[in-house]
Amino acid sequence: MTRICLAAREVLPMDEKPGDVLTIEELSAYLKIPKSTLYKLVREGKVPCQKIGRHWRFRKEAIDRWLEETHGDTKDGGNE
């Protein structure tokens, strides 16, 4: 799997470093959701993030853990 670094216009392997930090654009692509939805989740405090100056940053490791914790129980489609 690869990620696109939009600012530098280069493609890097997603598993290059365990402590990868993603931008809002990268996380939007990773989660396959619109940036507007991601900004809403950030405002509501529903996604683990940090604001550095005017920019939001997301640790990939924290996002993966958050996905497992918050969305891991919907794998069966909620039919139980």
CATH numbers and ranges of domains, the chain: 17-73 (3.90.105)
Q: What is the mean pLDDT of residues 16-33?
A: 87
Buried b (16+ CB within 10 A) or exposed e, 51-80: eeeeebebbbebbeebeeeeeeeeeeeeee
Is residue 80 scored above 80 in pLDDT?
A: no
23 phi and psi, to 5 degrees?
-85, 175
Residue 6: its pLDDT value, please? 43
Q: Is the pLDDT of residue 8 over 50?
A: no
Q: How confident is the model at residue 70, as a pLDDT?
A: 86
Give the whole-angstrom CA distance, residue 22 versus residue 56: 9
